[in-house]
């Protein structure tokens, strides 16, 4: 294991001095807890438990979702000091990503990304200027309710642009083939979706990479040296993770 990585098999007792984005960029191994948007603050605190996790992973693509539930969840999470990443409902919601950020999440994952235009949309609306074109506003944004972020417009925008997490999900052979062209500046990591990827492999019998693992190796090679990190979009146990570490994965997800 790389020195920058750390295992989560035991409780964490240290308090990271860097924000989550910086830790991910540095190649530190982090683990998300798969959460439920219906959890109360007490349920969230209990699930977070022993401090073995680094952020919460919420799903709005295949699970029930509402804006009001998300605002309540992120408020509770921020009070507990827990970052939240949301998989947004649909690829075509990429242009709406700023709205999800206005509701208090730290990161967004866009599913089933295949086109550069989708990535341009999500970067544009995730970042404030000069990187993107996200609109200013929203009392529920990260750091405002807790007063942990600067409140001045330019100061907050600069802080946010160094805090936001932005991921695209790899779920097709087209995305595997073109990943080096899809990871535009502003994307912090890519996330594997192995189940839909297997459907895509089945639909392309002449595609030379015939397993998810072969696709993962190929993408790891394409992204080597770019600083883009790789996440698993399905849950794993600590005993299952080494083979994925060998394929470049540094971001994992655990079941509650």
pTM score over 0.75: yes
The whole-number pLDDT of residue 4 equals 42
Residue pair 251/24 in contact (Cβ under 8 Å)? The answer is yes
The whole-number pLDDT of residue 13 equals 34
**Percent of the chain topping pLDDT 90:** 92
Q: Is residue 7 part of a domain?
A: no
The whole-number pLDDT of residue 126 equals 98
Q: Is residue 11 part of a domain?
A: no
Residues facing residue 30 across a β-bridge: 251
Task: Give the range among 5-9, 18-22, 127-131, 162-166 with minimum mean pLDDT.
Answer: 5-9
Q: Is residue 142 part of a domain?
A: yes
Q: Is residue 22 part of a domain?
A: no
Q: Is residue 24 part of a domain?
A: no
Q: SS in 3 state form for 105-149?
A: CCEEEECCCCCHHHHHHHHHHHCCCCCCCCCCCCCCCCCCCCCCC
Range of the domain at 192: 30-254
With bands split at pLDDT 50, 70 and 90, how would you rate the model's confidence at 50? Answer: confident
Q: What is the mean pLDDT of residues 85-97?
A: 97
The whole-number pLDDT of residue 17 equals 47
3-state secondary structure of 223: helix
d(CA 58, CA 8) in angstroms, rounded, equals 20
Q: Is the pLDDT of residue 141 over 80?
A: yes
With bands split at pLDDT 50, 70 and 90, how would you rate the model's confidence at 16? Answer: very low
Q: What is the pLDDT of the chain when averaged over all its residues?
A: 93
Q: Is the pLDDT of residue 6 over 70?
A: no
Q: Is residue 19 part of a domain?
A: no
Q: Is residue 8 part of a domain?
A: no
pLDDT in tens, 193-244: 999 999 999 999 999 999 999 999 999 999 999 999 999 999 999 999 999 9
List the CATH number of the domain containing 40: 3.20.20.60
Q: Is residue 4 part of a domain?
A: no
d(CA 230, CA 250) in angstroms, rounded, equals 6
Q: Into how many domains does the chain fold?
A: 1
């Amino acid at each position: 294991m790389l020195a920058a990585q750390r295992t989560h098999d035991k409780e964490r007792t240290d308090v990271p001095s860097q924000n989550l984005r910086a830790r991910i960029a540095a190649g530190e191994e982090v683990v998300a807890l798969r959460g439920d948007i219906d959890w109360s603050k007490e349920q969230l605190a209990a699930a977070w438990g022993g401090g073995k996790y680094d952020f919460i992973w919420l799903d709005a693509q295949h699970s029930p979702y509402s804006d009001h539930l998300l605002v309540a969840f992120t408020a509770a999470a921020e009070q507990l000091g827990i970052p939240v990443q949301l998989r947004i409902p649909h690829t075509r919601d990429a242009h709406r990503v700023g709205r999800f950020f206005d509701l208090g999440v730290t990161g967004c994952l866009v599913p089933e990304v295949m086109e550069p235009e989708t990535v341009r949309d999500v970067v544009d609306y995730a970042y404030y200027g000069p990187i993107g074109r996200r609109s200013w506003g929203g009392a529920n944004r990260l750091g405002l309710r807790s007063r942990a972020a600067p409140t001045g417009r330019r100061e907050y925008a600069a802080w946010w642009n160094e805090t936001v997490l932005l991921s695209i999900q790899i779920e097709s052979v087209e995305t595997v083939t073109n990943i080096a062209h899809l990871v535009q500046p502003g994307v912090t990591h890519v996330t594997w979706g192995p189940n839909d990827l297997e459907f895509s492999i089945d639909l392309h019998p002449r595609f030379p990479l015939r397993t998810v693992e072969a696709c993962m190796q190929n993408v790891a090679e394409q992204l080597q040296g770019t600083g883009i990190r790789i996440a698993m979009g399905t849950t794993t146990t600590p005993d299952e993770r080494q083979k994925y570490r060998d394929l470049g994965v540094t971001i994992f997800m655990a079941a509650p």
